[in-house]
């Protein structure tokens, strides 16, 4: 097969509420699934508190390692929403009211007969040079600067922003997968499975234990961007397991 | 109030299946809630792939920063279960079959009339000097070495191990919280809320936007380990918001 085109990403979840357990994150799974489906490989996730130093240091560590860094959370109007300022500091650029974002907010609130207060205008702040990301749910935009894509934490708004930003993303070869559900515990198939991994080193193979009706069973997942190679590895594995 | 006793933790989730979106993590929320309830502050979460270098480097970064590091995933019998070896490498100690763990597995399988295969024995491997963590669900133990606590990824087994390890953990002052549900969007309460945060700098205040019946509303969360101070801040905030 031709050389693989690999595009990678990290996700930075920003929010005390996830770390306290008060809010259960839904964005990790949603982003992971979406990126996998479009050919971007999520390689790392971090969750950090609403703390500027922590956000800056995580963004800078991640943006140098991966093609893209997505962030969720901390872009609302209240004092604990410090993502825009933190990203500006990470890139060493000023953060101010963005005229295009201000217009989006003014149009949105005017249409609802509401005043644009200073707190609402806070949601128009972005690092200089950022591109805006449309928010079809509640107007206040996300933004993209360099390879960092800044989205809201509310899951429905995060998903709207992810849809909006997707057409502009570079994508690579999709990692295809086949799942083989085996009605035996991992320990009974481990030797065959391990030998099979050695035979197909270019196909990543993982085993995921499950309890089905209280009994331990296994899902074997094979991943490869070449469909012919993937199918061959899956078929020969099924044969080796007498499935 | 007396000086706060603060005990911190990080969680390292190990697993390709979380990063691909195939499996939705349930352990972050469960661990976060449990640690908050016993007085340990979860300060960071990372999700990394089944890759020894990534695991070693994350474990070593986290164990120096926090009182405890919890890990989930990668301790089963198959070739992709590399957590024990990675932790051994992170600590620079050998990893081998642990005699106590082997006995646990032999007893468990003997009681079920099953053979202890080499694959099953793999689940008895632990870094030298590690303490074992009981697994009341399926026998194969977790382990603790230094401040690193290694648990299974299957949520029910993770929770059993967490219960088993909890009595031996050092805990600090619990961060208490009060949530004030406000039937207004964040942007309408942001100024009052921000002024209140400045008045009570020792009480962490966060605002969490929600959509209730399609309308934006806010949950205001105040956190402090001193109950009297927390209640005062909550009462005065309610008054300031005319609630």
A213 contact B CB<8A: no
Are A144 and A151 contacting, i.e. CB atoms less than 8 angstroms apart? no
Distance between CA atoms of residues A195 and A176, nearest Å: 21
Which residues of A are less than 8 Å from B43 in CB distance? 19, 49
Within 10 Å of residue A219's Cβ, how many Cβ atoms?
18
Domain boundaries, chain B: 8-168, 176-240
- Digitized pLDDT (tens) for each residue of chain A, 243 residues in all: 568 899 999 999 999 999 999 999 999 999 999 999 999 999 999 999 999 999 999 999 999 999 999 999 999 999 999 999 999 999 999 999 999 999 999 999 999 999 999 989 999 999 999 999 999 998 999 999 999 999 999 999 999 999 999 999 999 999 999 999 999 999 999 999 999 999 999 999 999 988 888 888 999 999 999 999 999 999 999 999 999
Name the burial class of residue B154, with classes exposed (0-12), middle (13-18) and buried (19+) by CB atoms within 10 angstroms of its CB.
buried
Q: Which residues of A touch B209 (CB under 8 A)?
A: 76, 154
Cross-chain CB nearest to B221 (options A17, A33, A211): A17
Contact call for residues A139 and A108 (beta carbons, < 8 A): yes
| Residue A100: strand, helix, or coil | helix
Contact criterion met (CB < 8 Å) for A20 and B42: yes
Mutate to test the interface with A, among B208, B213, B215, B216 (most CBs of A within 10 A): B208
B207/A117 Cβ within 8 A = no
What part of A 156-175 touches B (C-beta under 8 Å)?
156, 175
Distance to chain B for A77, nearest Cα, Å: 5
Residue A14 sits at the chain B interface (C-beta within 8 Å) = no
B123-142: burial string, b at 16+ Cβ within 10 Å, e else? bbbbbeebebbebebbbbbb
Closest-CA residue of chain B to A42: B19
Q: pLDDT, tens digit, for every residue of B31-81? A: 999 999 999 999 999 999 999 999 999 999 999 999 999 999 999 999 999
pLDDT of residue B216 exceeding 90: no
Residues A113 and A25: their CA atoms lie apart, in Å, by 33
Question: In the block, which residue shows the tokens 């020969």?
Answer: A236
Mean pLDDT of the B201-228 span: 92
Residue that is written with structure tokens 């509640």 in the block = A138
CB-based contacts of A113: which residues, under 8 Å, 6+ apart?
A: none
Q: What is the pLDDT of residue B210?
A: 85
How far is the alpha carbon of A46 from chain B, nearest alpha carbon, in Å? 4
Question: Using the beta-carbon criterion (under 8 Å), do B187 and A32 form an inter-chain contact?
Answer: no
Q: How far are the Cα atoms of A222, A227, A230, B18 from residue A234, in angstroms, in the given order? A: 7, 10, 6, 21
Residues in A 89-148 with any Cβ partner in B closer than 8 A: 117-120, 122-123, 138
Tokens of A127: 């690092």
When the candidates are 3.40.980.10, 3.40.50.1100, 1.10.3210.10, 3.40.50.10800, the CATH number that belongs to B8-168 is 3.40.980.10
Q: If phi over 0 gives left and psi between -120 and 50 gives alpha, with beta otherwise, what is residue A21?
A: left
CB contact under 8 A, A47 and B28: yes
Query: How would residue B138 be classed by pLDDT, with cut points 50, 70 and 90?
Result: confident
Mean pLDDT of B137-144: 94
Q: How far does B238 lie from chain A, in Å, by closest CA?
A: 17
Buried b (16+ CB within 10 A) or exposed e, B208-238: bbeeeeeebbbbbbbbbbbeebbeebbeebe
CA Rg value for chain B:
22
Tokens representing A134 are 């449309």
CATH, domain range B176-240? 3.30.70.600
> Chain B contacts of A23, Cβ < 8 Å?
208
User: Do residue B194 and residue A78 have CB atoms under 8 angstroms apart?
Assistant: yes
All residues of chain A having their beta carbon less than 8 Å from the beta carbon of residue B29 are 18, 21, 24-25
Task: Among A17, A33, A117, select the one facing B208 at the smallest CB separation.
Answer: A17
Binary contact (B44, A48; C-beta < 8 A): yes
The torsion angles phi and psi of B238, rounded to 5 degrees, stand at: -60, -40
Nearest of A146, A139, A113 to residue A124 by alpha carbon: A139
Query: Residue A85, SS3?
Result: helix
Contacts of A43 in chain B (CB under 8 A): 19, 49
Residue A187 CB contacts under 8 Å (≥ 6 apart), including other chains: B76, B77, B117, B119, B120, B123
User: Which residues in A lie closer than 8 A to residue B151 (C-beta atoms)?
Assistant: none
pLDDT of res. A2: 66
**Å from A38 to nearest chain B CA?**
12
DSSP structure string for B191-205: HHHHHHHHH-TTSEE
A32/B18 Cβ within 8 A? yes
Q: What is the pLDDT of residues B154-177, one digit of tens each?
A: 999 999 999 999 999 999 999 999
- Determine the length of chain B: 243
Question: Are A128 and A96 spatial neighbours (Cβ–Cβ below 8 Å)?
Answer: yes
Q: How confident is the model at residue B2 (pLDDT cuts 50, 70, 90)?
A: low
C-alpha distances (whole Å) from B203 to each of A1, A96, B186, B232 are: 58, 28, 19, 10
Residue A91 phi/psi, 5-degree rounding, is -95, -5
**Contact call for residues A212 and A182 (beta carbons, < 8 A):** no
The single-letter DSSP state of residue B77 is S
In eight-state DSSP terms, residue B92 is T
Q: Tell me, rounded to whole angstroms, the distance of Cα B205 from its chain centroid.
A: 22
Q: What is the ipTM of this complex?
A: 0.95
DSSP notation for A13-48: EE-HHHHTTSS---HHHHHHHHHHHHT-EEEEEEEE
How far apart are the C-alpha atoms of A227 and A213, rounded to whole Å? 33
Parallel, antiparallel or unpaired: strands B148-151 and A131-133: unpaired
């Amino acid at each position: 097969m031709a050389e693989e085109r690999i595009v990678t990403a990290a996700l930075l979840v920003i929010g005390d509420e996830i770390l306290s357990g008060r809010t259960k994150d839904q964005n990790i799974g949603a982003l992971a699934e979406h990126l996998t489906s479009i050919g971007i490989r999520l390689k790392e996730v971090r969750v950090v508190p609403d703390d500027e130093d922590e956000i800056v240091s995580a963004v800078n560590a991640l943006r140098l390692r991966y093609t893209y860094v997505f962030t969720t959370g901390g872009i609302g109007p209240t004092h604990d929403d410090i993502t825009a300022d933190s990203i500006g500091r990470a890139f060493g650029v000023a953060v101010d009211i963005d005229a295009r974002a201000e217009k989006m907010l003014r149009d949105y609130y005017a249409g609802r007969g509401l005043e644009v207060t200073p707190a609402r205008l806070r949601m128009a702040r972005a690092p200089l040079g950022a591109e805006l990301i449309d928010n079809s749910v509640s107007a206040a935009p996300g933004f993209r600067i360099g390879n960092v894509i800044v989205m809201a934490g509310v899951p429905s708004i995060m998903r709207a922003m992810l849809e909006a930003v997707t057409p502009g993303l570079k994508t690579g070869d999709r990692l295809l997968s086949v799942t083989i559900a085996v009605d035996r515990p991992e320990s009974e198939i481990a030797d065959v499975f391990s030998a099979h991994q050695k035979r197909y080193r270019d196909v990543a193979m993982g085993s995921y234990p499950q309890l089905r009706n209280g009994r331990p069973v296994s899902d074997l997942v094979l991943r490869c961007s070449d469909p012919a190679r993937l199918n061959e590895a899956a078929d020969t594995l099924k044969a080796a397991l007498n499935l």
